[in-house]
Amino acid sequence: MTYRASDTRYDSMLYRRSGRSGLKLPAISLGLWQNFGGTRDYPSAFEILSYAFDHGITHFDLANNYGPPPGSAEELFGDIMARDFRPYRDELIISSKAGWGMWPGPYGEFGGRKHLIASCEQSLKRLGLDYVDIFYSHRYDAGTPLEETLGALAQLYRQGKALYVGISSYPREQTKEAHRILREMGVPLTIHQPSYSILNRWIEDDETLDTCGELGVGVIPFSPLAQGVLSGKYSKGRAGTRAEEKNSSIGARALAPKVLAGVEALGKIAKARKQTMSQLALAWVLRRREVTSALIGVRTVEQLKDCLGALDNLSFTDRDRCAIDAAVQGGMIDGRPSINLPD
Protein backbone atom coordinates (compact mmCIF):
# COMPACT_ATOMS: atom_id res chain seq x y z
CA MET A 1 0.00 0.00 0.00
CA THR A 2 1.38 3.40 -1.00
CA TYR A 3 1.99 5.78 1.90
CA ARG A 4 0.15 9.09 1.78
CA ALA A 5 1.05 11.64 4.44
CA SER A 6 -1.73 13.06 6.59
CA ASP A 7 -3.35 16.22 5.27
CA THR A 8 -3.32 17.62 8.80
CA ARG A 9 0.38 17.04 9.47
CA TYR A 10 1.16 20.72 10.01
CA ASP A 11 -1.88 21.61 12.09
CA SER A 12 -0.54 21.11 15.61
CA MET A 13 3.27 21.23 15.44
CA LEU A 14 5.21 24.27 16.59
CA TYR A 15 8.15 25.33 14.40
CA ARG A 16 11.07 27.43 15.58
CA ARG A 17 13.80 29.25 13.71
CA SER A 18 17.36 27.98 14.15
CA GLY A 19 19.18 31.02 15.47
CA ARG A 20 19.14 33.83 12.93
CA SER A 21 18.98 31.50 9.93
CA GLY A 22 16.06 30.81 7.62
CA LEU A 23 15.86 27.20 8.81
CA LYS A 24 12.81 26.26 10.86
CA LEU A 25 12.65 22.98 12.76
CA PRO A 26 9.80 21.29 14.60
CA ALA A 27 9.89 21.80 18.37
CA ILE A 28 10.26 18.02 18.64
CA SER A 29 12.73 16.27 16.30
CA LEU A 30 13.27 12.53 16.02
CA GLY A 31 16.72 10.98 16.30
CA LEU A 32 17.65 7.50 15.10
CA TRP A 33 20.62 6.98 17.41
CA GLN A 34 20.02 3.62 19.10
CA ASN A 35 16.55 2.45 18.17
CA PHE A 36 16.76 2.05 14.39
CA GLY A 37 19.72 -0.24 13.87
CA GLY A 38 20.08 -3.71 12.41
CA THR A 39 17.57 -5.30 14.78
CA ARG A 40 14.73 -2.95 13.78
CA ASP A 41 12.49 -4.30 11.01
CA TYR A 42 11.05 -2.09 8.28
CA PRO A 43 7.37 -2.24 9.34
CA SER A 44 7.99 -1.18 12.95
CA ALA A 45 10.44 1.54 11.89
CA PHE A 46 8.03 2.89 9.30
CA GLU A 47 5.19 2.87 11.83
CA ILE A 48 7.16 5.25 14.07
CA LEU A 49 8.61 7.45 11.32
CA SER A 50 5.34 7.85 9.44
CA TYR A 51 3.48 8.69 12.66
CA ALA A 52 6.14 11.32 13.35
CA PHE A 53 5.79 12.94 9.93
CA ASP A 54 2.00 12.70 10.05
CA HIS A 55 2.17 14.80 13.22
CA GLY A 56 4.51 17.49 11.94
CA ILE A 57 7.94 16.09 12.78
CA THR A 58 9.85 17.03 9.66
CA HIS A 59 13.37 16.64 11.05
CA PHE A 60 15.07 13.24 11.29
CA ASP A 61 18.53 13.18 12.81
CA LEU A 62 21.16 10.57 11.94
CA ALA A 63 24.94 10.06 11.98
CA ASN A 64 27.33 7.83 10.10
CA ASN A 65 27.80 5.50 13.07
CA TYR A 66 24.19 5.21 14.26
CA GLY A 67 22.94 1.66 14.61
CA PRO A 68 24.12 -0.71 15.84
CA PRO A 69 25.92 -1.79 13.77
CA PRO A 70 27.37 1.51 12.50
CA GLY A 71 25.68 2.69 9.32
CA SER A 72 22.56 0.56 9.73
CA ALA A 73 20.31 3.44 10.83
CA GLU A 74 21.15 5.39 7.67
CA GLU A 75 20.58 2.30 5.55
CA LEU A 76 17.16 1.73 7.11
CA PHE A 77 16.17 5.37 6.71
CA GLY A 78 17.42 5.25 3.13
CA ASP A 79 15.06 2.33 2.45
CA ILE A 80 12.15 4.30 3.90
CA MET A 81 13.09 7.32 1.81
CA ALA A 82 13.15 5.21 -1.35
CA ARG A 83 9.93 3.31 -0.69
CA ASP A 84 7.68 5.78 1.12
CA PHE A 85 9.12 9.24 1.86
CA ARG A 86 10.55 10.10 -1.57
CA PRO A 87 7.58 12.25 -2.65
CA TYR A 88 8.04 14.32 0.50
CA ARG A 89 11.80 14.96 0.28
CA ASP A 90 11.33 18.73 0.04
CA GLU A 91 9.28 18.69 3.24
CA LEU A 92 11.96 16.90 5.23
CA ILE A 93 15.09 18.01 7.08
CA ILE A 94 17.56 15.11 7.20
CA SER A 95 20.80 15.50 9.10
CA SER A 96 23.92 13.43 9.53
CA LYS A 97 27.25 13.75 11.32
CA ALA A 98 30.79 12.44 11.44
CA GLY A 99 33.53 12.40 14.05
CA TRP A 100 33.06 9.28 16.17
CA GLY A 101 34.58 5.91 15.30
CA MET A 102 33.19 4.49 12.06
CA TRP A 103 35.86 2.34 10.40
CA PRO A 104 39.32 0.97 11.33
CA GLY A 105 42.52 2.90 10.92
CA PRO A 106 43.62 6.47 11.45
CA TYR A 107 40.97 8.04 9.18
CA GLY A 108 37.90 6.40 10.70
CA GLU A 109 37.12 9.04 13.34
CA PHE A 110 37.79 12.54 14.72
CA GLY A 111 37.82 15.83 12.80
CA GLY A 112 40.27 15.40 9.96
CA ARG A 113 39.33 16.49 6.46
CA LYS A 114 39.57 12.97 4.99
CA HIS A 115 37.28 11.48 7.65
CA LEU A 116 34.60 14.15 7.33
CA ILE A 117 34.50 14.25 3.53
CA ALA A 118 34.55 10.45 3.18
CA SER A 119 31.92 10.06 5.89
CA CYS A 120 29.53 12.46 4.20
CA GLU A 121 29.93 10.67 0.86
CA GLN A 122 29.25 7.32 2.55
CA SER A 123 26.21 8.69 4.36
CA LEU A 124 24.72 10.05 1.15
CA LYS A 125 25.08 6.62 -0.46
CA ARG A 126 23.43 4.83 2.47
CA LEU A 127 20.61 7.38 2.55
CA GLY A 128 20.17 7.39 -1.22
CA LEU A 129 20.30 11.19 -1.27
CA ASP A 130 22.10 13.88 -3.25
CA TYR A 131 22.41 16.09 -0.18
CA VAL A 132 21.68 16.23 3.53
CA ASP A 133 20.01 19.30 4.96
CA ILE A 134 22.42 19.54 7.92
CA PHE A 135 25.87 18.03 8.30
CA TYR A 136 27.65 18.22 11.65
CA SER A 137 31.11 17.87 13.05
CA HIS A 138 30.03 15.31 15.65
CA ARG A 139 32.61 16.29 18.28
CA TYR A 140 35.40 18.75 18.89
CA ASP A 141 38.79 17.24 18.04
CA ALA A 142 41.65 18.97 19.84
CA GLY A 143 44.13 17.00 17.72
CA THR A 144 43.01 18.61 14.45
CA PRO A 145 43.10 22.35 13.69
CA LEU A 146 39.58 23.76 13.69
CA GLU A 147 40.37 25.37 10.34
CA GLU A 148 40.73 21.90 8.83
CA THR A 149 37.58 20.48 10.42
CA LEU A 150 35.47 23.48 9.49
CA GLY A 151 37.08 23.78 6.08
CA ALA A 152 35.73 20.31 5.31
CA LEU A 153 32.23 21.41 6.36
CA ALA A 154 32.60 24.53 4.23
CA GLN A 155 33.53 22.42 1.19
CA LEU A 156 30.45 20.21 1.63
CA TYR A 157 28.32 23.34 2.00
CA ARG A 158 29.71 24.94 -1.17
CA GLN A 159 29.27 21.69 -3.11
CA GLY A 160 25.61 21.58 -2.10
CA LYS A 161 26.05 18.27 -0.29
CA ALA A 162 24.99 19.97 2.97
CA LEU A 163 22.54 22.87 2.92
CA TYR A 164 23.48 23.86 6.46
CA VAL A 165 26.39 22.96 8.73
CA GLY A 166 26.54 22.48 12.46
CA ILE A 167 28.65 21.33 15.37
CA SER A 168 27.91 18.91 18.19
CA SER A 169 29.23 18.82 21.76
CA TYR A 170 31.58 21.77 21.31
CA PRO A 171 32.33 23.75 24.51
CA ARG A 172 31.84 27.51 24.65
CA GLU A 173 35.26 28.71 23.50
CA GLN A 174 35.41 26.22 20.62
CA THR A 175 31.86 27.20 19.63
CA LYS A 176 32.89 30.85 19.42
CA GLU A 177 35.98 29.96 17.41
CA ALA A 178 34.03 27.69 15.05
CA HIS A 179 31.55 30.49 14.41
CA ARG A 180 34.38 32.94 13.66
CA ILE A 181 36.24 30.59 11.32
CA LEU A 182 33.15 29.64 9.35
CA ARG A 183 32.07 33.27 9.08
CA GLU A 184 35.46 34.15 7.59
CA MET A 185 34.92 31.33 5.10
CA GLY A 186 31.55 32.81 4.17
CA VAL A 187 29.64 29.89 5.69
CA PRO A 188 27.08 30.36 8.48
CA LEU A 189 27.17 28.17 11.57
CA THR A 190 23.50 27.33 11.76
CA ILE A 191 23.09 24.94 14.67
CA HIS A 192 24.75 23.33 17.69
CA GLN A 193 23.73 19.92 19.04
CA PRO A 194 24.85 19.44 22.68
CA SER A 195 23.46 17.23 25.43
CA TYR A 196 21.07 19.12 27.74
CA SER A 197 18.40 18.17 30.25
CA ILE A 198 17.02 19.00 33.68
CA LEU A 199 19.76 16.76 35.09
CA ASN A 200 22.57 17.78 32.75
CA ARG A 201 23.09 21.53 32.44
CA TRP A 202 26.68 21.84 31.30
CA ILE A 203 25.75 24.20 28.45
CA GLU A 204 24.29 26.57 31.03
CA ASP A 205 27.25 26.20 33.40
CA ASP A 206 29.93 27.03 30.79
CA GLU A 207 27.65 29.53 28.99
CA THR A 208 27.58 27.64 25.70
CA LEU A 209 23.81 28.14 25.57
CA ASP A 210 24.07 31.90 26.12
CA THR A 211 26.88 32.12 23.58
CA CYS A 212 24.81 30.40 20.91
CA GLY A 213 22.03 32.90 21.54
CA GLU A 214 24.44 35.83 21.19
CA LEU A 215 25.95 34.43 17.98
CA GLY A 216 22.59 33.60 16.40
CA VAL A 217 23.26 29.86 16.37
CA GLY A 218 20.34 27.53 16.98
CA VAL A 219 20.51 24.80 19.64
CA ILE A 220 19.01 21.32 19.33
CA PRO A 221 19.71 19.40 22.55
CA PHE A 222 20.10 15.64 22.44
CA SER A 223 19.21 13.41 25.41
CA PRO A 224 16.63 15.85 26.84
CA LEU A 225 15.21 12.84 28.71
CA ALA A 226 18.70 11.84 29.93
CA GLN A 227 18.41 8.63 27.87
CA GLY A 228 15.12 7.73 29.48
CA VAL A 229 16.08 8.47 33.10
CA LEU A 230 13.73 11.47 33.15
CA SER A 231 10.83 9.35 31.90
CA GLY A 232 10.81 7.69 35.32
CA LYS A 233 11.20 4.19 33.93
CA TYR A 234 14.38 3.55 35.93
CA SER A 235 12.86 4.52 39.27
CA LYS A 236 12.81 0.86 40.31
CA GLY A 237 16.23 0.02 38.88
CA ARG A 238 17.57 -1.46 35.66
CA ALA A 239 15.50 -4.64 35.52
CA GLY A 240 13.63 -5.02 32.24
CA THR A 241 15.02 -1.79 30.77
CA ARG A 242 17.54 -0.83 28.09
CA ALA A 243 20.12 -0.18 30.82
CA GLU A 244 20.43 -3.96 31.20
CA GLU A 245 21.49 -4.42 27.60
CA LYS A 246 25.08 -5.16 26.68
CA ASN A 247 26.99 -2.01 25.68
CA SER A 248 24.25 0.24 27.07
CA SER A 249 25.30 3.88 27.01
CA ILE A 250 23.42 4.58 30.24
CA GLY A 251 26.11 4.91 32.89
CA ALA A 252 25.88 4.04 36.56
CA ARG A 253 26.06 7.71 37.57
CA ALA A 254 22.76 8.37 35.76
CA LEU A 255 21.09 5.74 37.95
CA ALA A 256 22.69 6.73 41.24
CA PRO A 257 20.30 6.88 44.23
CA LYS A 258 20.56 10.69 44.45
CA VAL A 259 19.64 11.04 40.79
CA LEU A 260 16.67 8.68 41.07
CA ALA A 261 15.47 10.47 44.20
CA GLY A 262 15.46 13.72 42.25
CA VAL A 263 13.58 12.09 39.40
CA GLU A 264 10.96 10.83 41.84
CA ALA A 265 10.49 14.39 43.13
CA LEU A 266 10.12 15.61 39.55
CA GLY A 267 7.32 13.10 39.07
CA LYS A 268 5.24 14.94 41.68
CA ILE A 269 5.83 18.25 39.91
CA ALA A 270 4.82 16.73 36.57
CA LYS A 271 1.64 15.33 38.09
CA ALA A 272 0.72 18.75 39.48
CA ARG A 273 1.17 20.20 35.97
CA LYS A 274 -0.96 17.38 34.50
CA GLN A 275 2.00 16.13 32.49
CA THR A 276 3.96 12.92 32.28
CA MET A 277 7.56 13.08 33.36
CA SER A 278 8.76 12.97 29.74
CA GLN A 279 6.50 15.89 28.86
CA LEU A 280 7.81 17.92 31.80
CA ALA A 281 11.42 17.24 30.81
CA LEU A 282 10.88 18.23 27.18
CA ALA A 283 8.93 21.35 28.07
CA TRP A 284 11.74 22.37 30.43
CA VAL A 285 14.35 22.16 27.66
CA LEU A 286 12.10 24.08 25.27
CA ARG A 287 11.57 26.88 27.79
CA ARG A 288 14.80 28.54 26.62
CA ARG A 289 14.50 30.87 23.65
CA GLU A 290 17.88 29.69 22.34
CA VAL A 291 16.56 26.15 21.90
CA THR A 292 15.24 25.46 18.43
CA SER A 293 14.12 21.86 18.91
CA ALA A 294 14.34 19.00 21.41
CA LEU A 295 15.84 15.87 19.88
CA ILE A 296 14.21 12.68 21.16
CA GLY A 297 14.68 8.96 20.62
CA VAL A 298 11.81 6.49 20.93
CA ARG A 299 11.23 2.76 20.62
CA THR A 300 7.46 2.80 20.18
CA VAL A 301 4.68 4.94 18.78
CA GLU A 302 3.29 5.22 22.31
CA GLN A 303 6.51 6.85 23.50
CA LEU A 304 6.36 9.24 20.56
CA LYS A 305 2.75 10.19 21.34
CA ASP A 306 3.73 10.88 24.93
CA CYS A 307 6.58 13.16 23.88
CA LEU A 308 4.41 15.12 21.47
CA GLY A 309 2.07 15.85 24.37
CA ALA A 310 4.75 18.13 25.82
CA LEU A 311 3.69 20.81 23.35
CA ASP A 312 0.35 21.20 25.13
CA ASN A 313 2.01 22.98 28.07
CA LEU A 314 5.32 24.75 27.55
CA SER A 315 4.91 27.49 30.15
CA PHE A 316 6.50 27.48 33.60
CA THR A 317 5.76 29.62 36.62
CA ASP A 318 8.54 30.87 38.87
CA ARG A 319 7.28 28.39 41.43
CA ASP A 320 7.62 25.54 38.92
CA ARG A 321 11.19 26.49 38.06
CA CYS A 322 12.23 26.77 41.70
CA ALA A 323 10.62 23.43 42.55
CA ILE A 324 12.40 21.69 39.66
CA ASP A 325 15.78 23.14 40.64
CA ALA A 326 15.28 22.10 44.27
CA ALA A 327 14.20 18.58 43.28
CA VAL A 328 17.40 17.76 41.40
CA GLN A 329 19.89 19.83 43.36
CA GLY A 330 21.62 16.81 44.86
CA GLY A 331 21.43 14.54 41.83
CA MET A 332 22.83 16.34 38.83
CA ILE A 333 24.77 14.58 36.06
CA ASP A 334 27.92 16.16 34.61
CA GLY A 335 27.42 15.72 30.88
CA ARG A 336 30.32 17.91 29.82
CA PRO A 337 31.86 16.32 26.70
CA SER A 338 35.27 14.73 26.95
CA ILE A 339 37.89 16.16 24.63
CA ASN A 340 40.53 13.99 23.04
CA LEU A 341 44.02 15.39 23.49
CA PRO A 342 46.46 15.70 20.59
CA ASP A 343 48.81 12.75 20.04
Looking at residue 240, its amino acid is G
The predicted pLDDT at position 240 comes to 47
Give pLDDT, residue 304: 98
Domains of the chain: 15-228+289-298 (3.20.20.100)
pLDDT at 252: 62
Rounded to whole angstroms, the Cα distance separating 69 from 48 reads 20
Question: Do the strands 15-17 and 24-26 form a parallel or antiparallel pair, or are they unpaired?
Answer: antiparallel
Positive or negative torsion for Cα 110, 98, 75, 309? positive
pLDDT attached to residue 251: 63
Q: What is the mean pLDDT of the chain?
A: 94
Of the candidates 198, 172, 227, which has an alpha carbon nearest to the alpha carbon of residue 337? 172
Could you tell me which residue, 99 or 338, shows the higher pLDDT?
A: 99
* 254 confidence band (pLDDT: 50, 70, 90): confident
Q: What is the pLDDT of residues 207-249, one digit of tens each?
A: 999 999 999 999 999 999 999 999 998 876 544 455 555 554 5
Q: pTM of the predicted model, to two decimals?
A: 0.94
d(CA 128, CA 216): 32
CA 77 to CA 56: how far, in whole Å? 18
For CA atoms 164, 156, 172, 100, give the dihedral sign. Answer: positive
Angle, CA of 68, 119 and 150, to the nearest 5°: 125
